Structure formats: C-alpha cells, structure tokens
Amino acid sequence: MKVLAISTSPRKGGNTDLLIDAIAAAAEAGADVEKVSLRELNISPCVECNACQRLGTCRIKDDMQGLYPKITDADRIVFATPIYFLGPCAQAKAFIDRHQAFWSKKFVLKQPLLEREFRHGRKGYLVSTGGTRGRRVFECAQRSLRNVFSVIEVKYDGELVYRQIDEKGAILQHPTAMQDAAEFGRRIVSVQPGPPASLPGNDPDNPDAS
C-alpha cells in the first residue's frame, strides 16, 4: 500500500505538520509512506489557460508536475492544512486548483486517470487545525477536499481536526492529539473493513468535542 502524506503548512513544525508526521510514522508499519511538504516546492496557481482541456495535462512546468503521478499512484492520500480565514491555506489552495488538469482529462477529454487497479480502493483524509471555536471552521476545507477527491477517484474516508489550536506547536499541549494521530495513521492503512477514520473526540460538527 502506498500512502501520500501532503503537508501544506507554510511553517515547518506547525501544528498540522506535527500531526501529519505522527500519522506518517504510524502508517509506516503497514505501508510505503511518502511525505511531501508543499512549502519546499514551487507550485504556481492555476492561470486558467485551459491548455489542459486540449492536452489532458497542465502546461505549467513547476514542481506540481512531479506530484501528478504520485497522486494517481497512491492508495491513501492524507492532506493536512491549517485553516486561514475559514479556508485552506494558500499553499493548499494552489495545489488543489492545479487538479484542474485531472478534471479536464476525465470530463472533457473522457480519458481514464488511473493506470492500475487498487485492491482495496483509494481513500483520502483531511487533517486540519483552526484557531477558532466556530462550528463551521472546517467546512470550506472539507468541501474543497471532497470535490478534489471525487475527481481523482478517491473516497473521502475521514478526518482528524482540532479547533482552538493556533500558536506554533500548540497541538503538543492537547491532551490526546499526538496519540490520536498515531492511531489515525494505523487505522488508515488497515485493510480491515470498518467505519471512516474520523476519531470520536474530533467531531467537526461539535465544537465542544475537541
């Protein structure tokens, strides 16, 4: 099993960065895990040139080109973003928008995205932290990621999210977060059938749960 762990945090050692590191470390016991940090890459925003509607690929020559095959080859995708102004951070949004090339290939050119069959199906997960306590703080990130996963034929299978986590490293003061992340990592690579990997203590619809 191949796991692609995508950290979009602009700050090294940020809260979502720490969470995804713990998830990746635990998942390594049952899978081949690769972590990608977008802050270390050059990923331009989509410029809506529509070249992908003719070519089936993005014409922008940057580090996103190296990520496209990793995305289509992954059995599990873990996407971590902090929440800025109730949405994914800028690095995350640029990455998301560059999936337009996949959308064009699939829906405009009617070409298959995947070159191999996946025994257990492709699944994806959101990891996020937000500084506020608001009920809908993760809604924009959830909707965006669900849409992207739908395009690339990945089932949205769960999330690990924490409210009122803002300062760098604050997640380390949470009483269960790092243990939650380790359990999350083990659960997402398990081939046993079961419920999505969301943990009960982090219900995104219940601000008091975390």
Q: Where is 92: in which H helix or E strand? A: helix 90-97
| Burial class of residue 77 (count of CB atoms within 10 Å of its CB; 0-12, 13-18, 19+) | buried
CATH label, 2-202, candidates 3.40.462.20, 3.90.1150.200, 3.40.50.360, 3.50.50.60:
3.40.50.360
Separation CA 195–CA 177 (nearest Å): 20
The per-residue pLDDT for range 10-40, each reduced to its tens digit, is 999 999 999 999 999 999 998 999 999 999 9
State how far Cα 74 lies from the chain centre.
Answer: 12
| Burial class of residue 182 (count of CB atoms within 10 Å of its CB; 0-12, 13-18, 19+) | middle
The per-residue pLDDT for range 186-204, each reduced to its tens digit, is 999 986 544 445 554 455 5
Could you tell me the pTM of the whole model?
0.90
What value does the mean pLDDT of the chain take?
Answer: 90
Domain ranges of the chain: 2-202
Q: What three-state secondary structure class fits 57?
A: coil
The per-residue pLDDT for range 156-183, each reduced to its tens digit, is 999 999 999 999 999 999 999 999 999 9
The per-residue pLDDT for range 105-142, each reduced to its tens digit, is 999 999 998 866 554 589 999 999 999 988 899 999 99
pLDDT band with cut points at 50, 70 and 90 for residue 51: very high
